[in-house]
Copies of this chain bind each other. A is one copy, B any other.
Amino acid sequence: MQVTAIPTTPKEIRERIRGREIPGYTSGMAPGYVQANLVVLPKNLAFDFLLFCQRNPKPCPLIEVVETGSAEPLQTAPGADIRTDLPRYRVYEYGEMVAEPEDISEYWRDDMVSFLIGCSYSFESALIRAGISLPHFEKGTNVSMFITSIETTPAGVFAGPMVVSMRAIPEDKVVKAVQVTSRFPAVHGAPVQIGNPEVIGVSDPTVPDLGDPTEFNDGDVPVFWACGVTPQAVAMQSKPPLMITHSPGHMFITDLRDEDVAVL
């Protein structure tokens, strides 16, 4: 039996995902490359959603918006196909999930606009490189997420509360965590809150609204970052006739290196 070499470039990984050779979560694949959340909406909602992202760059940092009707992200992954190159998708009709397929070709329409939105994997890698341990990242559990009292800036039909992710950071690493993530505005950037959960409407940082609970060690400070679940939740609220997203954890792997989207 022939052993295939472990693919290392984003292009190779996307091709093997397309060929159904690699199923499952993309976390840890193509380390050093930017992974993205996917939101696909009909053109008649695309202006409002693009404007929503422009007005809310922390929860909705746009990596690329693909030309209407096209499935090829020319800027960040030329040659890729949005419809086949993610391991799993979710298809929503009028706000209800109707399928969770491995391929969305049959759902594709010529009026669809695909939005690739930054994902926290890039800044989590940077935190780990900076010596800040992230147990959920190592254990393969989900980060804790909270629906906050922070209102996003509305745009057209889109509005709603900001969702944040939380990490327990040792007190002496909090400044470093701010510095490291500030370099990556394209993947949510600097935190939105440090150490005072109630200020953003979070009553208990050990009981998340979404994802898994986080264990706190003595001296750990809860630090909150804007989360890419926000745009999905907000888009869903408009109950579009058709909306397609990645399935949680099954991201789109771009050709961009983390450093390509870093500032300074």
- Please name all residues of chain B whose beta carbon is closer than 8 Å to the beta carbon of A65 when the two chains form the complex: 51, 54-55
A264 touches which of B46, B55, B64, B264 (Cβ 8 Å): B264
Residues of B within 8 A of A75 (CB): 55, 153
Please report which residues of chain A, range 38-91, place their CB below 8 angstroms from some CB of chain B when the two chains form the complex. 43, 46-47, 50-51, 54-55, 62, 64-65, 67-68, 75
* Given A68-B156, A263-B263, A263-B264: A51 in contact with B54 (beta carbons within 8 A): no
Q: Is A182 an interface residue (CB 8 A)?
A: yes
Q: Are B46 and A182 in contact (CB under 8 A)?
A: no
CB of A69, distance to nearest CB on chain B (Å): 11
Residues of chain B lying within 8 A (CB to CB) of residue A51: 50, 65
Residues of B close to A46: CB separation below 8 A: 47
Total interface residues on A, CB under 8 Å, equals 21
- The A interface, classified by DSSP as helix, strand, loop or mixed, is mixed
- Determine which of B54, B183, B185, B264 lies in contact with A50 in the assembled complex, contact meaning CB atoms within 8 Å: B54
Q: Which residues on B sit within 8 Å (CB–CB) of A264?
A: 182-183, 263-264
A155 lies within 8 A of chain B by Cβ: yes
- Shortest distance from the beta carbon of A67 to any chain B beta carbon, whole Å: 7
For A153, the chain B residues whose CB sits under 8 A away are 75
Interface centre among A47, A55, A68, A156 (most CB of B within 10 A): A47
Which residues of B lie under 8 Å from residue A263 when comparing CB positions?
A: 182, 185, 263-264
For the complex, give the distance between the alpha carbons of A155 and B55 in Å: 20
* A17-47 vs B, Cβ < 8 Å mask (1 yes, 0 no): 0000000000000000000000000010011
User: Which chain B residue lies CB-closest to A46?
Assistant: B47
- How distant is the Cα of A50 from the Cα of B50 in the complex, in angstroms? 8
A-B contact pairs, 25 of them (CB 8 A): A43-B47, A46-B47, A47-B47, A47-B50, A50-B50, A50-B51, A50-B54, A51-B65, A54-B54, A54-B62, A54-B65, A55-B64, A55-B65, A55-B75, A67-B155, A67-B156, A68-B156, A75-B153, A182-B263, A182-B264, A183-B264, A185-B263, A263-B263, A263-B264, A264-B264
Query: Which are the 7 A-B pairs with shortest beta-carbon distances?
Result: A47-B47, A263-B263, A50-B50, A51-B65, A264-B264, A54-B62, A182-B264
Given contact pairs A43-B47, A54-B65, A185-B263, a sample of 12 additional A-B residue pairs in the complex whose CB atoms are under 8 Å apart = A47-B47, A50-B50, A50-B51, A51-B65, A54-B62, A55-B64, A55-B65, A55-B75, A67-B156, A68-B156, A182-B264, A263-B264
